[in-house]
Structure 1
Amino acid sequence: MDLRRAAEIDFGPLVDREFHPSPAAWEDEVLYFLMLDRFSDGDEGTPPLRREDHGNAVTTEEDAARWREAGARWCGGTLKGLRSRLGYLHRLGVTAVWVSPVLKQTPFEETYHGYATQNFLDVDPHFGTKEDLRDLVAAAHALGIRVILDVVLNHAGDVFAYRDDVTDATWFGHPYPVAGFRDASGEPSLPFGPVSDVDGAALDGAVWPAELQEPGVFTCGGRIVDWDRYPEYVEGDFYGLKDLHLGTGETDRYTPSRALQTLARVYRYWIAYADLDGLRVDTVKHMDRGAARYFASVIHEFAQSIGKENFYLIAEITGDRRFAFETLEQVGMDAALGLAEIQDELEWLVKGRRDPRGYFDLFRDSFALGKDSHTWLRNRVVTGYDDHDQVRKGDWKARFAVDDLGHRMALAAIALNVCTLGIPCLYYGSEQRLDGSGGNDRYIREAMFGGAFGPFRSRGGHVFDEADPVYREVARILAVRRAVPALRRGRQYLRQISGDGVGFGYPGTRSIVPWSRIFVDDEVLAAINTDPLLPHTAWVTVDAALHEVGDKLVCRYSTDPSQGGREVTVEARNGRAVLLTVPAAGFVIYVRR
């Protein structure tokens, strides 16, 4: 029987079982974010995409128009499809899958992305069923993969319409009159109030659970125009997505609304029902900090009560780092996501267009954040460079591998991401060098399984290619990361280099970029080469307190297989240094012999 009210949830039978435990440390994990509609449809009969098929969907303008339009609609990815590809992720080395929202969407729109929830108590039929979600999580756990679900608190879908006489409902600091809740066809034919007892009212109309139909649940303030003006960005609608009133008061004295209490109960239900390991909370910037703190407290307490002592809440907080980390500390969530500075510096460092200090210094100013050790950042920020929004890139968005330079440097970008501070997160398809580009989000949301909106402007072929050189090398790098604690938990230092062994300085563009991770008394040296065409050799500084002249470091990983097992000798240069050669666009890891 379908749930209609959050109050109907019976937690007794849900929590009377053993749950999958939390990890000891989330910085040990490697996240993989996927848009469920675009990842896998489970069709094992789809052939692999051949290189000569790239562009086969855009050979004529008519074909290209059909391909573009397909990207704006549901493409067919499902929970069962994701389950069928868990082995692909496991062999890559992924240990936690972050899944885009799966709850039921407004049925009259193509909200394939999942952020327009109409029924918070059910899974969208495009994705499958509640049971499919539960089965996916169980199958992932059997492979050692945790599951983080993307959830929304700030808003619901476009579940009601403003009155016809409201010509332009932009935020102006006052509520607008509402015509009614939308029915399954999108018409505002339902009363703007409780509809559960209205003849003919169905779960496809209005908003559910029924507690969200009560007066005062929505702010009705119109859409946001200025995304940085307070309180507009907190009280306004997210385009057509309708803002929820979550409560009132200062952060320390916040009174949660009935709507917020209802949603907290709903997400406790999904944690227990599916045995989830974490939540990624959407648009935290656009919520009252008191609301986010209330939610974090309720969810953490519930998770601990069922044995998930380190259940992780990842907050999407757009803006600069100081704003993000100040918000993170005030709301009590565990890690920040959506830090444009980190994404931007990482991308352009690897492409040889930024001073590497720009990226590494982001992890060195912890005192300015009120922290006395930069290792605080190892589990307080989720790092990456591609994502499904790319707000930082404005109107024209593109994946890292969009051009020849990005194609060549793709492995180096992933290597830098997964072997530096933070909880690394790969955006789906990066390991296959997907290259989406265009003036709309759809182009960076290709369907890996092919279909009508396949990657590389194709149709009909999948790209789950485990023989691809980037996929294969990432799997090798992640295996080393699992085996070497310093690469997951160690302090981090950008190292100085020298061409002649005499004059040392920090690396510039088109050079070796080396860094150390130090854990207890163990130093691991890693380096990328930002030159896509030529190998580079340089003296690289190491910690003089940890190495004696004559000590050896051995190559644990290199993109040049002939370097595997090669030893380098510590010499008395700039304190202590070793001579490294890094292949073009390559990556190396050296450890103590």
Structure 2
Amino acid sequence: MTRWLTGFCLLISLPVLADLQLKRVEPANWWVGMHSSQLQIMLYGEQVSGYQVNLDYPGVKLVKAERVGSPNYLFLTLNLAKDVKPGLIPIKLSQGEHVALVYDYPLLARDNASAERQGFSNKDSIYLITPDRFANGDLSNDSVPGLEDKLNRAALGGRHGGDLQGIINHLDYIQAMGFTQIWLNPVLENAMSSYSYHGYAATDFYRVDPRYGSNALYQQLAQQAKARGIGVIIDVVLNHIGSQHWWMSDLPSADWLNFAGQFVPTTHRREALHDPYATEWDKRHFSDGWFVETMPDLNQRNPLLATYLIQNSIWWVEYAGLSGIRIDTYSYSDPDFLSQYTARLVAEYPNLNMVGEEWTLNPSIVAYWQRGTKRHDGYQSALPSLFDFPLQAAVVGGLTNQENWNSGLREIYLSLANDYLYGHPQDLVVMPDNHDMSRIFTQLREDPQLWRMAMVLFATVRGTPQFFYGTEILLANPNSDDHGEIRADFPGGWPGDKQNAFTGNNLSTDASSAQAYMRKLLNWRKTAQAVHNGRFVHYAPLDGSYSYFRLSEEHNLLVVLNKNDQAIKLDLARMQESLKGFTSAKEVLSGQTAALPDILVPARSAGIYELYK
């Protein structure tokens, strides 16, 4: 009998007797030469827990077979020797002397240098894409039998038909714009009845949603992106699943979900985890509470579930050849699990990057989760990066608020002055906006000059910049803050679109100008060593301007933001400790040169000045 195993892209022949059928085996394969010698395999089938397990394969030992609350699950723990060879591990399921099934489990050869893969870094610029809204490359999968949420491009919260093929078709555009990493909102199956396009309510951890394509197409996207010097970052959700996840009809155990599977809303009070006066009730109802009733909250304190989630992330990195992981709703998961998760991923891939979403404007809470941070409680974290939400808010306020003793550009200065809280502030991911907040052009009151200033800052400040698709053409959400409007269709991604941002056809003058500006900025950034690894030195804002330096042995920059309605001659007298030896400057984007100290910064603009001796 031949069965299709969800999440594995081969047809595997299963010798099955009538008394036992496996519906799922997860992960569907593994690899030799992994750092951890242990592998957990979840078997799912009718009454599978009633069978004994044996295997005979050189270098592989069955450590234990664990039975849980549901008789339809069996969790196997295998130990793999360092010198184990690729092949098919015969997993024998029997009752007494009766062999009901021998399942050949694939153990694959690992790609060379897989463990040493380089993750995203400060050399990169990340392009965040909501796949359903970027480009429709395959009209045949817009609606899929068996998946209730069908194509409805007229609905803000409906599926619009964007897919992986659409992204593949436009990799050349992404490359030409200067982006070197792609972060996709989740592409795993979301078999929810409505509002499924955003991807954050997974119903199968090992299957790409068919409306986006297939596992093989996701792998192809990563391969074709890599050929263009572009990495792919996976969006991982550890905290919750969708209420139509296949687990929900047959939970492995009573403690698989928090609050015994009953909806109790989270308080969203992340402060409770750090508050010296907090109660256990407040801590639990933050971490264990559910976002909404349709997103059951996972209990990562269950060791089988914890291992399942860790292995799932490793499987996707290895299978698709990924360069990073973005971790959704980071602090909502169990803290001890997060410590285990990050340590295991870093051990497996020392150079892989991971960035956590801790959405708070309190930098001390963001910093708590980063590796290297000095914490008050001895908590261990191997998480390399987090999103710098405090800086994002400070930039918007700094550019839109009136200059005063405590507002305006001073807000940016104060935010960066808090970097002493972080273990590694240079490793943060900085961003003008993302898929969950109003577009940066809207936040900046649709002012193209302020937009340019923001783009320069995020491209040159410390950290790795992330830009949301459409930022480069001034996409906005003027009518509402509905996520469906924020995640608007990228013009040109659908047949018949009147505007085409990929070709520039029928774009407004402002949009075309912004796109050209962004393209020049990001392509310059690719080789700007001072931005990649230079020291960050800034000077307190003065008279409506803010200046900072990026200084390295080979490349040195001065960046100036001028909010004034008139050009200013920069006062360099107070900056001599950073300007020693430099005699001239060249503005990167305009090409204009100046002898120091005669730098004239145009009104309401940002200048990037390369410094020369």
**Same fold by TM-score, threshold 0.5 exceeded?**
yes
1:530 and 2:583 matched: no
1:435 to 476, 479, 484: 476
Native 8 Å contact 2:444 2:451 kept in 1: no
**Partner letter of residue 268 of structure 2?**
W
1:343 and 2:392 matched: yes
Q: How far did 1:102 drift?
A: 0.8
Q: Secondary structure at the match of 1:331?
A: coil
Counterparts of 1:107-126 in structure 2 under 5 Å? 107-126=192-211
Aligned to 1:507: 542
1:273 to 310, 314, 319: 319
- State the distance in 2 between where 1:146 and 1:272 align: 13
Aligned to 2:110: 16
1:544 and 2:576 matched: yes
Deviations 1:193-236 (A, max 9, x none): 4xxxxxxxxxxxxxxxxxxx443211224142521042112111
Aligned to 1:28: 123
Q: How far did 1:143 drift?
A: 0.6
Q: How far did 1:300 drift?
A: 1.9
**Partner letter of residue 536 of structure 2?**
Q
1:378 and 2:429 matched: no
**Partner letter of residue 568 of structure 1?**
A
Identity of aligned residues (%): 20
Counterparts of 1:154-165 in structure 2 under 5 Å? 154-159=239-244
- State the distance in 2 between where 1:416 and 1:8 align: 45
Change (3 A) 1:19 1:130: farther
Native 8 Å contact 2:472 2:515 kept in 1: yes
**Partner letter of residue 581 of structure 1?**
V
Q: How far did 1:9 drift?
A: 2.4
Q: How far did 1:398 drift?
A: 4.8
Aligned length: 472
- State the distance in 1 between where 2:26 and 2:247 align: 19
- State the distance in 1 between where 2:327 and 2:247 align: 26
Aligned to 1:78: 163
Change (3 A) 1:360 1:150: same
- State the distance in 2 between where 1:465 and 1:588 align: 28
Aligned to 1:328: 370
Q: How far did 1:358 drift?
A: 1.9
Aligned to 2:255: 216
Native 8 Å contact 1:512 1:537 kept in 2: no
Q: Secondary structure at the match of 2:571?
A: strand
Aligned to 2:441: 400
- State the distance in 2 between where 1:68 and 1:360 align: 43
1:493 to 528, 531, 537: 537
- State the distance in 2 between where 1:478 and 1:459 align: 27
Aligned to 2:522: 478
Change (3 A) 1:236 1:227: same
Native 8 Å contact 1:32 1:96 kept in 2: yes
Q: How far did 1:402 drift?
A: 6.1
Native 8 Å contact 1:568 1:580 kept in 2: no
Counterparts of 1:218-233 in structure 2 under 5 Å? 218-219=257-258, 220-228=261-269, 229-233=282-286
Q: How far did 1:405 drift?
A: 4.3
Aligned to 1:355: 408
Structure 1 unaligned spans of 5+: 45-65, 161-179, 183-189, 194-212, 248-255, 304-308, 391-396, 497-505, 571-577
Q: Secondary structure at the match of 1:526?
A: strand
Deviations 1:443-474 (A, max 9, x none): 2111104679x9xxx96544335582222122
**Partner letter of residue 407 of structure 1?**
P
Change (3 A) 1:543 1:529: closer
Change (3 A) 1:408 1:227: same
Change (3 A) 1:26 1:136: same
Identify which of structures 1 and 2 has the higher relative contact order when contacts are C-alpha pairs closer than 8 Å and 6+ apart: 1
- State the distance in 1 between where 2:324 and 2:554 align: 32
- State the distance in 2 between where 1:346 and 1:326 align: 22
CA RMSD of aligned residues (A): 2.9
1:287 and 2:333 matched: yes
**Partner letter of residue 421 of structure 1?**
R
Q: Secondary structure at the match of 1:493?
A: strand
- State the distance in 1 between where 2:416 and 2:580 align: 28
**Partner letter of residue 426 of structure 2?**
R
Native 8 Å contact 1:14 1:272 kept in 2: no
Aligned to 2:488: 446
Aligned to 1:238: 291
Counterparts of 1:547-566 in structure 2 under 5 Å? 547=579, 551-558=582-589, 561=590, 564-566=591-593
- State the distance in 1 between where 2:206 and 2:120 align: 31
Change (3 A) 1:428 1:15: farther
**Partner letter of residue 607 of structure 2?**
F
Deviations 1:116-167 (A, max 9, x none): 100101100111001110000001100111111101111111137xxxxxxx
User: What TM-score do you get using the length of structure 1 for normalisation?
Assistant: 0.73
Q: Secondary structure at the match of 1:41?
A: coil
Native 8 Å contact 2:233 2:325 kept in 1: yes
1:93 and 2:120 matched: no
1:424 and 2:462 matched: no
Q: Secondary structure at the match of 1:365?
A: helix
Deviations 1:90-111 (A, max 9, x none): 1111111111111111242231
Change (3 A) 1:548 1:360: closer
Native 8 Å contact 1:402 1:436 kept in 2: no
- State the distance in 2 between where 1:364 and 1:295 align: 31
- State the distance in 1 between where 2:568 and 2:213 align: 51
Q: How far did 1:529 drift?
A: 2.7
Counterparts of 1:41-52 in structure 2 under 5 Å? 41-42=136-137
